[in-house]
Amino acid sequence: MRTFVIGLLVAALSACGANGVAGAGGEERRSVSSTPSSPIASPSVPSSSAPGTPGEPSRGETTSGPEPTSCPDGTLIPAVEIPAVHSDAVRIPEAKVGGVTIPATTIPGVDIPAQRVPAQCTEIKPAPGGCLGAASIPETGIPAVEIPAVEIPGVNAGDLKVDPVRADAVRADAVRARAVSTPEVCRRKARGGGLVPFVIRPFIIRPFIIRPFVIRPFVVRPEKCNDKGECVPAVEVPAVEAPAVNVPSVEIPAAELKSYEVGGSEVLEGEDSIAYNLNADVLFDFDSADIKPGAAAELKRIAQQISRKSAGDSAIQVDGHTDDKGEDAYNVRLSQRRAQAVLGWLAGEGGLDRARLKATGYGETKPVRPNITDTGRAKNRRVVISTETS
């Protein structure tokens, strides 16, 4: 008879729902919902910078020391390779005009060494329990590039005159993206029970930067001849282009520690039985069967009450439940692991007789609310502890 009454009490308790944070997120293996973001960093402002030393690869100005190949406390930001720029020299052959020999000459080509924006690491610093570590993305920069001026010399020989032709130097200045960071955030501790509020570390983003392409246009000195049919040949120097360079944006996503209730169990005490309903979000982190340190005080209180009120040899039932997120078999296993974890805590830290304790995982098979809203699912994620009383 007592077992039947306990079943009725547990069912009634379940129908009342659990205290805790409604809508604190779906059940296991579900992505955390997005959170308000921090403002995007101000766009980078181009600044003047000399290009790399001729003959040596140019690097971004903001990195020193060896480049990382892995990032233990963050994510590797890949290097950006900037290809070399090359154009061949142009040779102008010797010519004779009006008895004057115009010597051959060579217009130098262009050789700009390859450049590189070095690899970097984002960082999320280790933090104590109940805290989210400070996050940072380092500054970076694209070095400047310049294509030098070029000139095809003129000719002045006898009655033949050809003006020089020139293309000025072109340059793309260095571009910089500033470092961005956000500090460590921690929960406030609840004193004597109550709600431990959620905390959010907002996402941060270092915006993308672009160094635009630059092109020195082709230049042509046309062929010209005198009345005697003596000519200076046409000369063309091809255009030279340094391509655009894009360093993608880098983001560290937001992170959240959910709120939970300390002292948040719901109790239904009958004539000869008692049951405690605990919201699973109070006891466990997302997709975890490890009991939160903050739940210890409530479990200790329940263990002490069971020791005082339960019949000396009565069984103590620990039942685990989930919502409908995820596969059925997985949810059954998770609810069983969670029920077993609570059983282990009650037998160890709680001082209850392990022989009297029994754990059962029901998965999503016994909902107390429709699994159609976050609030309903939060009610269904629960652990119920029940026993007969003396």
Same domain? 212 vs 270: no
The whole-number pLDDT of residue 310 equals: 84
Q: Count of domains in the chain?
A: 2
The whole-number pLDDT of residue 265 equals: 67
CATH number at residue 24: 3.30.1330.60
CA–CA gap between residue 89 and residue 336 (Å, rounded): 77
Asked if residue 37 belongs to a domain, the reply is: no
Predicted confidence band of residue 2 (pLDDT cuts 50, 70, 90): very low
Asked if residue 53 belongs to a domain, the reply is: no
- H/E stretch holding 53 reads none
Same domain? 354 vs 371: yes
Q: What is the mean pLDDT of residues 182-198?
A: 67
Task: Retrieve residue 41's tokens.
Answer: 């960093």
Same domain? 180 vs 301: no
Whether 271 shows a pLDDT value over 70: the answer reads: no
Q: What pairing do the DSSP bridges indicate for beta strands 58-59 and 115-117? A: parallel
Is the Cβ–Cβ distance between 312 and 291 less than 8 Å? no
Side chain identity at residue 46, one-letter code: P
Give Cβ neighbours of residue 64 (< 8 Å, ≥ 6 apart). Answer: none
Same domain? 14 vs 98: no
Mean pLDDT of the chain: 80
- H/E stretch holding 256 reads strand 255-257
Asked if residue 105 belongs to a domain, the reply is: yes
Is the Cβ–Cβ distance between 86 and 109 less than 8 Å? yes
Q: What pairing do the DSSP bridges indicate for beta strands 95-97 and 120-121? A: unpaired
Residue whose C-alpha is closest to residue 83's, from 117, 49, 47, 120: 117
pLDDT tens digits, one per residue of 274-307: 888 888 887 888 888 888 888 888 898 889 888 8
Residue whose C-alpha is closest to residue 210's, from 42, 40, 45: 45
Asked if residue 36 belongs to a domain, the reply is: no
- How far from 101 is each of 152, 166, 180, 221, 371, CA to CA, in Å? 17, 23, 65, 18, 95
Least confident of 23-37, 64-78, 227-241, 358-372: 23-37
Domain of residue 382 covers: 2-31+260-388
Asked if residue 44 belongs to a domain, the reply is: no
Whether 28 shows a pLDDT value over 50: the answer reads: no
Least confident of 27-31, 134-138, 261-265, 377-381: 27-31
Same domain? 138 vs 96: yes
pLDDT tens digits, one per residue of 204-248: 999 999 999 999 999 999 999 988 888 999 999 999 999 999 999
Asked if residue 228 belongs to a domain, the reply is: no
Same domain? 68 vs 199: yes
Task: Retrieve residue 344's tokens.
Answer: 């282990």
Asked if residue 41 belongs to a domain, the reply is: no
- Site of tokens 């919902």: 33
pLDDT tens digits, one per residue of 94-116: 988 878 889 999 999 999 999 99
User: Mutual orientation of helices 296-309 and 328-347 as an angle, nearest 10°?
Assistant: 70
Asked if residue 196 belongs to a domain, the reply is: yes
The whole-number pLDDT of residue 37 equals: 33
Is the Cβ–Cβ distance between 189 and 76 less than 8 Å? no
- Site of tokens 């009120």: 309
Among the candidates 227, 253, 279, a domain finishes at 253
CA–CA gap between residue 51 and residue 143 (Å, rounded): 6
Same domain? 336 vs 190: no
CA–CA gap between residue 111 and residue 327 (Å, rounded): 61
Q: When comparing pLDDT for 22 and 88, which is higher?
A: 88
Residues in the chain: 390
Predicted confidence band of residue 264 (pLDDT cuts 50, 70, 90): low
Residue whose C-alpha is closest to residue 80's, from 180, 252, 251, 208: 208
What's the CA angle centered on 213, arms 211 and 216, to 5 degrees?
135
The whole-number pLDDT of residue 339 equals: 93
Task: Retrieve residue 40's tokens.
Answer: 């995007």
Same domain? 244 vs 266: no
Predicted confidence band of residue 145 (pLDDT cuts 50, 70, 90): very high
Predicted confidence band of residue 14 (pLDDT cuts 50, 70, 90): very low
Same domain? 246 vs 114: yes
- How far from 327 is each of 288, 368, 378, 379, 384, CA to CA, in Å? 16, 19, 17, 19, 22
Provide DSSP, 138-187: --EEEPPEEEPPEEE--EEETTEEE--EEE--EEE-BEEE--EEE--EEP
Same domain? 201 vs 316: no
Same domain? 25 vs 81: no
Backbone angles phi, psi at 358, to 5 degrees: -140, 135
Same domain? 13 vs 101: no
CA–CA gap between residue 275 and residue 277 (Å, rounded): 7
Task: Retrieve residue 45's tokens.
Answer: 């402002």
Predicted confidence band of residue 199 (pLDDT cuts 50, 70, 90): confident
Q: What is the mean pLDDT of residues 130-142?
A: 92
